[in-house]
């Protein structure tokens, strides 16, 4: 299936390319044949990534994020996760006054934030550089709005998260071959 046709189908589900992103930028990362020989496989991964060329931090899709769960390096790691979740939920300010503390050597970590006028603080289970998915789930709970939720497509130690309503997620799962897209933690 042509890459452009795959992108059209995904846009219908609420996963369009971000403004200013192009097919050429996708082709910078992988050849057309790889996208087209396995329809929806590679492109779903790519939608969650940033463009692999300067200027950096340009995401292919505003409703997707490729989350490598082995991403905790130190202070700021959980703030970065929270900001990505806010970005793909389309709610950049939903979690404010974000702060975290991560000391891998002492195996001590926590995150604090304000959501809906409430201050929240969560201890984080430190397991080397792996993200605590229970805490990620708490952040996700703050951002889901009833109709749209976080859905996940697993990729080994990583996952691509999508923010979609259940109908769009079911149609995305069918495109991806069934059994591939599920609600977080799925």
Q: Is 140 exposed, middle or buried (0-12, 13-18, 19+ CB in 10 A)?
A: buried
Confidence of residue 186 (pLDDT cuts 50, 70, 90): low
Q: What digits encode the pLDDT tens for the residues 69-108?
A: 999 999 999 999 999 999 999 999 999 999 999 999 999 9
State the pTM of this model: 0.94
Q: Are 64 and 48 in contact (CB under 8 A)?
A: yes
Domain ranges of the chain: 3-67+148-183, 71-143
The first and second tokens of residue 159, run together, are 């996952």
- Would the pLDDT of 182 be above 80? yes
pLDDT (mean) for 12-37: 96
């Amino acid at each position: 299936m042509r890459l452009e046709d795959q992108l059209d189908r995904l846009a219908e589900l609420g996963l369009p390319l971000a403004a200013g992103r192009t097919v050429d930028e996708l082709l910078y990362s992988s050849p057309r044949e790889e996208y087209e020989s396995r329809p929806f496989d590679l492109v779903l991964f790519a939608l969650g990534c940033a463009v692999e060329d300067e200027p950096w931090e340009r995401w292919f899709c505003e409703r997707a994020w490729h989350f490598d769960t082995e991403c905790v390096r130190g202070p700021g790691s959980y703030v970065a996760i929270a900001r990505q979740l806010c970005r793909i939920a389309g709610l950049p300010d939903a979690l404010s006054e974000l702060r975290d503390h991560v000391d891998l050597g002492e195996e001590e970590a926590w995150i604090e934030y304000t959501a809906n006028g409430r201050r929240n603080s969560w201890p984080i289970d430190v397991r080397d550089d792996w993200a605590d998915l229970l805490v990620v789930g708490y952040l996700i709970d703050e951002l889901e709005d009833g109709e749209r939720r976080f859905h996940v497509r697993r990729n080994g130690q990583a996952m691509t998260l999508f923010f979609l309503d259940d109908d769009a997620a079911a149609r995305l799962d069918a495109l991806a071959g069934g059994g591939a897209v599920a609600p977080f933690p799925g």
